[in-house]
Amino acid sequence: MKKIVLSVVTMMMFAVSYAETSESNKFNRQPINYDMSFDMHRLAVKLDLDANQMEAVQVIQDCFNDEVQEAATSRGLKRHHLIHQAVRKDAQQMRQVLNDKQYDTYMMLLGVTLRNKGL
């Protein structure tokens, strides 16, 4: 009788510990990283920026990163809308600073970055 009771208690402990582990994994998802800062040196080399363009791109990137960080504090559709607005504003400002080839390369890099971050 003692063995049966101990076996039942052991099986119940395994069941409870398994249920607790799988339940707690639902809440431990990795949060989306909203840091959109770029390494300016690598970006300048990739886009072949001159000094004036590099300074303007740095200012635009800082504003863009701030707007995305601000959007991170919102919830649901508002977050999506604010991120979309920030991307559109960033693209418009970059269009004024970069030439066609640089802009196309930048938009490709931005698109890949947004997809990798899950935004």
What is the torsion angle, in degrees rounded to the nearest 10, for the CA atoms of residue 100, residue 104, residue 109 and residue 111?
Answer: 130
Q: Tell me, what's the pLDDT at 93?
A: 92
| Token couple for 40 | 């300016």
Q: Domain extents for the chain?
A: 1-30, 40-117
Task: Give per-residue pLDDT as tens, 83-105.
Answer: 889 889 999 998 999 899 999 99
Task: Give per-residue pLDDT as tens, 26-40.
Answer: 554 445 556 666 778
Backbone angles phi, psi at 75, to 5 degrees: -125, 150
Closest listed residue to residue 97, CA positions, set 84, 106, 109: 106
Q: Tell me, what's the pLDDT at 30?
A: 46
pTM for the full predicted model: 0.66
Task: Give per-residue pLDDT as tens, 34-73.
Answer: 666 677 888 888 888 888 989 998 999 889 888 888 887 8
Question: What does the alpha-carbon distance between residue 104 and residue 110 come to, in Å, rounded to a whole number?
Answer: 10
